[in-house]
Amino acid sequence: MAVDPGRATIISAVIAGVAAIAVAVVTVAVKSDDNSTANKATKSPVVAVTTTAVVPPPTTTDGGTTTDDTGPAPDFTKDLKIPLLNYMSIFLRTGEVVQGKGTADLYYGPQRSIRTSFSQLSSDVEARTKAGCEDAVATRPAGKSITKLDTGQAICVVPSSLMAGGGVALLVVTSAPDSSGTIGLRLSYWS
């Protein structure tokens, strides 16, 4: 599918603008006083979370890390860098990642796998859309654990309504676990 050059320019400008605002916000937060929330957050286990543009990303033809541009745009998309610190809990509705194993939607843990206790998973994803994820989970479920975490791998999740209040999530591995176990994921969430 050809992308209109005008649309591509607008999307690039919006993404650049969002990135500039994010840099400004981080700079202001770092320069704030020692009692600030930003400085307290750096003293707890570090999980890098970067919010990306809410503009629906373009489709790639090589199985890349973007969602398809058909269907509704995700409520949000976040890039996550998750270290391997025993168990890391992933809350899909907010994109929050915390250390420990509690009542999260997903876990990334010692076996270098994505696991769940309550959500439905699929790694057999034909369309990286909300409807595509719903179909993948309904017709090609993966059980409670995904161990294939190669770069570009898509994982669809339909969280238990008790956990995330419903919704649908698409996780794409942006960087496979490195030698220390740190994994990069792009989370797109539809309510």
Condensed to tens digits (0 to 9), the pLDDT of residues 109-146 reads: 988 999 998 889 999 999 999 999 999 999 999 989 99
* Cα 33 to Cα 41, 46, 84, distances in angstroms: 13, 19, 31
pLDDT at 103: 83
User: What mean pLDDT is reported for the chain?
Assistant: 73
183 has which bridge partners?
82
pTM for the predicted model, two decimal places? 0.66
Weakest mean pLDDT among 42-46, 47-51, 94-98, 179-183: 42-46
Q: Dump pLDDT digits (tens) for 86-113.
A: 899 999 999 999 998 878 889 999 889 9
Domain ranges of the chain: 1-44, 45-190
Sequence-ordered list of residues with C-beta below 8 angstroms from that of 35, at least 6 positions apart, any chain = none
